[in-house]
Structures are given as C-alpha cells and as structure tokens.
Amino acid sequence: MSYSKIMNTYQSTIKDTLKNRFLGYVKTWTTSDLEKADNGIMPSTQTQTEFAKKLAQELQDIGIKDVTVTKYSYVCARIPCSIGAETVPSVGFLAHMDTAMDVSGKNVKPNIVEKYQGQKITLKEGVVLDPKTDKYLAEATGETLITTDGTTLLGADDKAGIAEIITAVEFILKNKLPHGQIELLFSPDEETGHGMDKVPLDWIESKQCYTLDGGHIGELEVECFSAWKSDISFTGISIHTGSARPKLVNAVTMCSEFLNLLPKNEAPETTDGYQGFYAPLNVSGHIEEATCTVLLRDFTNTGIEEKKQTIDILARAIECKYKGSKVTVKHTQQYLNMKEELDKVPAVQEALTAATKAIGIQPTYLPIRGGTDGSRLTEMGIPTPNIFTGGHNYHSRQEWASLEQMCAASQIVVELVKIWSLAN
C-alpha cells in the first residue's frame, strides 16, 4: 500500500494503540541515579534493565527479528529494508528509557482528560494545571490530555518518544510500507548525562538519526546548550565549636558563601532563550569538608569558558578569605552544542522540515535549553536533531502530554522513513 493512500488516516488508526502503549510505559518505574552514573555504574538502576528487556520483547512481538539488549541495557533493533529499497539510506530513531530524579517516578498513576475544555485541572497534593500560567495548556482545547495524579512526574520524558517510535514502526510493518533500513536505539541514563557513555557506536549503521525527546507540537531542535559541570570541594579546619575562636574554618560556611556569589541574573530561573546560566545542583558536607556541584550552560564556547573562569575566580576568592582553607575545582564536559556539526549535513534537517510540513504542521526551530542523547551522538559523528513528543512541564508533578500531539510526532517518524526511502 502506498504512503499517500494511508497517511491521511494515520492518527485515527494508531491513536488508541499509542495511548495504551504510553500508559503502560509510564507505569514502569525507571528513575535513574546520578550518583551511581557519575561513578560509572551503567545503567544506574536495575529498573532500567527490566524495562529494556520488556521493550526488546515488545519489538520482537511486532515482528522485528534483529533485537538485542547490550550489557549496559541499550535496546538495539534493526529492521532490514523492504524489497527494492536496498540502496535507500539507513535512518535511526532514538529515545531514552529513564526518568528524572527531580520528582518521584515510582507508582505513576496517569490521569486522562478527554476533550479538554480550557479549565483548571486540580490534582492531588494541591497540584494545579492552570491555562492562565501554561500557554501550551491554553492551546490544547479539544485535545486528550494525559497528566499525573499530582504525586509523581508523568514520564513523557521520554516514554512518549519510545511509544511514538514503536507505534510508527509497527504501523510501517503492518501496512507493508516501503522503507530503507530502520534502526532503533533506546538508551538508559540520559537524565544523568551519561546516556551515550556506553552506546554501541559500532552497531549503528545509519548516517543520520533523530531523537524524539522534545516538547510542544511543531518544535524541532538542531542546537542546544554546551554543558559542563563544576565540582567544588571546600576543606576547612575543624575544632570544638565551644573553643573555636579563632581556629575554626567552617567548610559549610565557605560553600554557602561561594554559592551566594554566583551571578543572580544568570540562574536558570532568571534566564531564557539563548541566555546561559549557573545552576547549583547539590550541596553536602560538614565543618571540615563540604562540596557542591554547579552546572554551567551556554550556547557558545566563549560563554562556557567565561563561566568556568568565574567559578575558578570565586573559588580562589573564598580560599583567600578563609586562612588555612583549601578550595579545589574540577570542570567536566558533559555535551556540546550540536548546531555546528548539524550545519555540515543540511539534508538531515531538510528531511525533518519536509516531514513536519507533510503532516500539516509548520515547524518551529528553537534552541534546546538542555541536551539530548542526540547532541552527544552528533558529537560522535552521527547527526541527530530532535523532534517534539507532545510532552510538557517535564521533571515536575505538573507534567502532561497531549495524545494528539503524540500522534503527530509518531506520524513524523513515518514521514521521515518515507522521505529517506526516496533519497536513493
């Protein structure tokens, strides 16, 4: 059957399948663990391995024979090209299995709002979704919304992406649509920043891939933050607090003063668009030793270098102020802005633009104020822009997703396979 005869009925055909698949996924607990991931444990939680095995079985059940789960719990699936498409470029689709640690992802109880009519949505524990403060919610009138119950996050980041990819592939196979080779990769620990640390790069044959890990309908992303983290350690001098003067040097006080010196107008909550920031992530310690981690984000290498220098200067200032103390800083690169590399292969973005327009959506290219597995994969030589999923308010109890927007994202996957099948 041809694409043109069937794509106009795509959303109605897959809507229930996509919804049920997504609801099943979000009920599976897959929160990752930053501390374990930073210490080289991959995946950082056993629940991700269990989910990987579940996905692998599901892929086999829909007819994909070449499916493996690596020892690091990456799900890798390859669909050979259809007859006559042997010269068609291979294309890959990626999404991540873990959910963020910011809010509990255990015992997720999704709530469905059919044909949303613009009202406030009141959930448990005083959580309210209000269209007056959420412009995307205000635009979702008439859509089927999937929210949390107010006690957890939802997990649309990124289980919506997984559901959309698998539903699209199932549709292609079931309807015997012509296609080149298709590769699927579902990764662990994206939320910890380690999603591509153990990726089986040699397995990937596609020269172009796409992540489904974005937000509002129509939003496509080909540029992101360059990201570093700074780990700062403060060493003081401990002595009984009753006889502390003048010998005590309190590492907790040093850490607190350091964080208070960070630019207030360059914090996540005071910036947007192309503005970078410093984001204190965690603090721990006692009188003798204290540590903190600060995330550094900017869209330019110059901006990142300036932020690293600021951290170094502030650390030296604290060390000079507190006699006998020691402050050390370790800067670690996490990922880089993918724009420069993607600009070298315009066909990848052009295909995405064409696929989006083909389903009647005007694409909007926005910078990612974060990163994706795709930004890391782009660094590794495989250009990988990002596609919306229809999820909103990620990493929060206010998280919600639009089923209609999810259907559109899934449809773009099918359109991309079509477009690349014509590129031979």
- The CATH number of the domain holding residue 368 is 3.40.630.10
Q: pTM here?
A: 0.89
Alpha helices (H) along 289-382: 301-321, 339-342, 346-358, 373-379
Q: What is the CATH number of the domain that holds 269?
A: 3.30.70.360
| Cα 145 from Cα 131, distance rounded (Å) | 13
pLDDT at residue number 12: 82
Q: Which two tokens stand for residue 245?
A: 């003067």
Residue 379: is it exposed, middle or buried by C-beta count within 10 angstroms (0-12/13-18/19+)? Answer: middle
Are 316 and 283 contained in the same domain? yes
Catalytic option among 164, 190, 213, 221? 190
By three-state DSSP, how is residue 378 classified? helix
- Residue 332 sits at φ, ψ, to 5 deg, of -130, 125
Place of tokens 């299995």: 97
Please spell the DSSP secondary structure of 13-41, one letter per residue.
HHHHHHHHHHHHHHTS--B--HHHHHTT-
Looking up tokens 């910011």, which residue turns up? 102
Does 216 share its domain with 363? yes
Residues with Cβ within 8 Å of residue 237, at least 6 apart in sequence: 247, 248, 249, 288, 324, 325
At 193 the pLDDT is 87
Catalytic member of 98, 164, 170, 183: 98
- Domain stop point among 287, 312, 335: 335
Eight-state DSSP code of residue 249: B
Asked which of 335, 359, 387 is the last residue of a domain, the reply is: 335
The whole-number mean pLDDT for each consecutive block of 10 residues of the chain, a chain of 424 residues, reads 54 92 98 94 98 98 97 98 94 98 96 96 96 96 96 97 98 95 98 94 97 96 94 96 93 98 97 96 96 97 97 98 97 92 95 95 91 91 96 97 96 96 80
Residues 128 and 235 in one domain: no
Count CA within 13 A, CB hemisphere, residue 417. 31
Looking at residue 1, what is its pLDDT?
39
The question of whether 61 is a catalytic residue gets the answer no
Same structural domain, 32 and 170: yes
Count other Cβ atoms within 10 Å, centred on residue 229. 18
Q: Are residues 214 and 320 in the same domain?
A: no
- Which of residues 300, 335, 370 is at a domain's end? 335
- Clarify whether residues 39 and 158 are in a common domain: yes
Write the CB contacts of 119 (distance below 8 Å, at least 6 apart in sequence).
131
**In contact, 391 and 229? CB cutoff 8 Å:** no
Does residue 405 sit in the same domain as residue 256? no
Structural domain range at position 258:
226-335
Specify whether 197 is catalytic.
no
